[in-house]
């Protein structure tokens, strides 16, 4: 099969590389010339474990290539995937579809024969209908079916998620498109990954419902964690105690500083906008968005209290080492990372912030210029009045606690990811606080 992937960002690049690894011929397109040049030279624009090797192997096998020339990439393709960004629109939180529609118009001009246009970008309900209208208007003589095929991969585990998905959702009622999509996903089909065929609008909504549900699960356990702290219970045991119930499930019940990233914050907001437009409020998701927003700054206040302040004042002149800046481990993505709000509230309180992250320091420097960036956890902690674990990178899971305490001005640790057993940290001389324990 010949597959064209428009947009070589996270989803486009991972999907394109994985499709080529299935044996398809894939061309990844992007407008950004420097990105395409870098990819051609074997340099990845994002940090994703295993992606560089996967790309190199498939480029070498002649199945994967990169171009800025959309027109030639689209001509003759069996399937054209749209995997461009759908950021939150400034001002109102709706998903910004301008890149999706611009790509659609370019596809209409480039298409030469029957094809299937597949939206992989996360797009609000009804976007497929609009894509279809644009194609019908600009390429009226072409046989083009429009399919929704949302992506459920997680950053940091994207290749595994793509190759061993819990399910594949395909929104189309067109028989030819169904067959093309079956062929596209044939290797997974043979692996017995469930393929769910639905209406196109349903597929679009499944994506938002899945992310909103997961964001709700996290926010639920975060509030239960606060309650645990108030009543003297342990949230990790609560998570285990409820998660063993198959109806609840144990995943996504890790209490922490609030969810971040490029998906949950933007997709929950976009779902609220859709619900508002259709006058069908989703109050639970409204509460989730608000609770999660408040939580990030509340984490800043928690750190200030650990420094002896009252939550907003009383920490002036102190120094804090922030370990982990990205929104989660194994990515260099800083989008909506809890560290951004936490660091800002510390700076607002007059605290000096030193930071270290294994992969995220370059993007972090641009977003948080007032932080002193260090080369490792111990350097960051040197002279600090507290260390805060914000992101649970593996390198922070087995710190030499005695050594860490030894370089600090005062041995105080705030562990926002519950990485350590409290007794172990306290034995090393730390005043230790964590989440919901
Ligand atoms: C999320 C979904 O998990 C993917 O299925 C989806 O495809 C993707 O969004 C998307 O829409 O593209 P991702 O944003 O990469 O993936 O990261 P997650 O692993 O879901 O984590 C999101 C946030 O929730 C992180 O800040 C993480 O620290 C937090 N989290 C996650 C918790 O605080 N507790 C948990 O138990 C799980």
| Tens-digit pLDDT profile for residues 130-152 | 999 999 999 999 999 999 999 99
Q: Relative to the CA of 161, which ligand 1 atom is closest?
A: 5
pLDDT at 317 > cutoff 90: yes
Tell me which of 95, 154, 235 to substitute to probe ligand 1's pocket, judged by most ligand atoms within 8 Å of the beta carbon: 154
Shared-domain flag, residues 431 and 291: yes
Residue 58 lies in a domain: yes
Burial 137-148 (b: 16+ CB within 10 A, else e): eebeeeebbbbb
Shared-domain flag, residues 138 and 48: yes
When pLDDT is cut at 50, 70 and 90, the band that residue 94 belongs to is confident
Mean pLDDT computed over 358-375: 97
Q: Relative to the CA of 328, which ligand 1 atom is closest?
A: 28
Centroid of ligand 1 to alpha carbon of 253 (angstroms): 11
Residue 184 lies in a domain: yes
What does the DSSP assignment read for 209-244? HHHHHHHHHHHHHHHHHHHHHHHT--HHHHHHHHHT
Shared-domain flag, residues 145 and 269: no
Shared-domain flag, residues 150 and 104: yes
Shared-domain flag, residues 73 and 151: yes
When pLDDT is cut at 50, 70 and 90, the band that residue 91 belongs to is confident
Tell me which of 218, 329, 338 to substitute to probe ligand 1's pocket, judged by most ligand atoms within 8 Å of the beta carbon: 218
Final residue of a structural domain among 152, 176, 198: 198
Active site residue 263: yes
Whether the CB-CB separation of 83 and 11 falls below 8 Å is answered with yes
When pLDDT is cut at 50, 70 and 90, the band that residue 402 belongs to is very high
Shared-domain flag, residues 14 and 67: yes
Cβ within 8 Å of residue 17, ≥6 positions away = 26, 51, 54, 55, 58, 64, 159
Q: Classify 351 as helix, strand or coil.
A: coil
Shared-domain flag, residues 186 and 237: no
Q: What is the CATH number of the domain that holds 66?
A: 3.40.50.720
Residue 210 lies in a domain: no
**What residues make up the domain containing 287?**
233-437
* Helical residues (DSSP H) of 278-360, grouped into ranges: 283-306, 338-348
Shared-domain flag, residues 192 and 245: no
Whether the CB-CB separation of 104 and 135 falls below 8 Å is answered with yes
Final residue of a structural domain among 154, 179, 198: 198
Residue 95 pLDDT: 87
Tokens of 197: 């065929």
Cβ within 8 Å of residue 94, ≥6 positions away = 88, 124, 270, 273
Residue 311 pLDDT: 81
Residue 214 lies in a domain: no
- Tens-place pLDDT, residues 151-181: 999 999 999 999 999 999 999 999 999 999 9
Shared-domain flag, residues 160 and 278: no
Shared-domain flag, residues 164 and 246: no
């Amino acid at each position: 099969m010949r597959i064209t992937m428009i947009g070589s960002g996270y989803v486009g690049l991972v999907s394109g590389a994985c499709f080529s690894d299935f044996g398809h011929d894939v061309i990844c397109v992007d407008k950004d010339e420097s990105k395409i040049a870098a990819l051609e030279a074997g340099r990845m624009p994002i940090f994703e474990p295993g992606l560089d090797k996967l790309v190199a192997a498939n480029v070498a096998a002649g199945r994967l290539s990169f171009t800025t020339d959309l027109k030639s990439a689209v001509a003759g393709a069996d399937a054209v995937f749209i995997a461009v960004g759908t950021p939150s629109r400034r001002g109102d939180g709706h998903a910004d579809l301008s890149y999706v529609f611009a790509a659609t118009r370019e596809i209409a001009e480039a298409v030469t024969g029957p094809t299937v246009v597949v939206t992989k970008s996360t797009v609000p309900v009804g976007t497929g209908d609009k894509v279809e209208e644009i194609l019908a208007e600009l390429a009226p003589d072409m046989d083009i079916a429009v399919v929704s095929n949302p992506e459920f991969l997680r950053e940091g585990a994207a290749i595994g998620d793509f190759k061993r998905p819990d399910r594949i959702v395909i929104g189309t009622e067109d028989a030819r498109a169904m067959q093309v999509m079956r062929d596209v996903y044939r290797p997974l089909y043979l692996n017995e990954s469930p393929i769910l065929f639905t209406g196109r609008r349903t597929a679009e909504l499944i994506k938002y419902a899945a992310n909103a549900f997961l964001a709700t699960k996290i926010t639920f356990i975060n509030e239960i964690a606060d309650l645990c702290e108030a009543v003297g219970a342990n949230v990790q045991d609560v998570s285990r105690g409820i998660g063993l119930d198959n109806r609840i499930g144990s995943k996504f019940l890790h209490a922490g500083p609030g969810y971040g990233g490029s998906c949950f914050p933007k997709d929950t907001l976009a779902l609220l906008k859709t619900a508002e437009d259709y006058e069908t409020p989703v109050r639970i998701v409204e509460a989730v968005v608000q609770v999660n927003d408040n939580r990030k700054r509340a984490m800043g206040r928690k750190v200030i209290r650990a420094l002896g302040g009252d939550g907003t004042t009383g920490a002036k002149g102190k120094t804090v080492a922030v370990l982990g800046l990205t929104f989660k481990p194994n990515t260099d993505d800083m989008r909506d990372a809890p560290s951004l709000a936490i660091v800002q509230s510390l700076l607002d309180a007059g605290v000096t912030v030193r930071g270290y992250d294994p992969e995220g320091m370059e993007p972090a420097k641009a977003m948080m210029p007032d932080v002193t960036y260090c080369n490792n956890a111990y350097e960051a902690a040197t002279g600090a009045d507290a260390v805060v674990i914000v992101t649970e990178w593996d390198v922070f899971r087995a710190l030499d606690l005695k050594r860490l305490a030894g370089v600090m001005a005062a041995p105080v640790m705030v562990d926002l990811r519950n990485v350590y057993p409290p007794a172990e940290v306290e034995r090393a001389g730390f005043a230790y606080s964590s989440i919901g324990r």
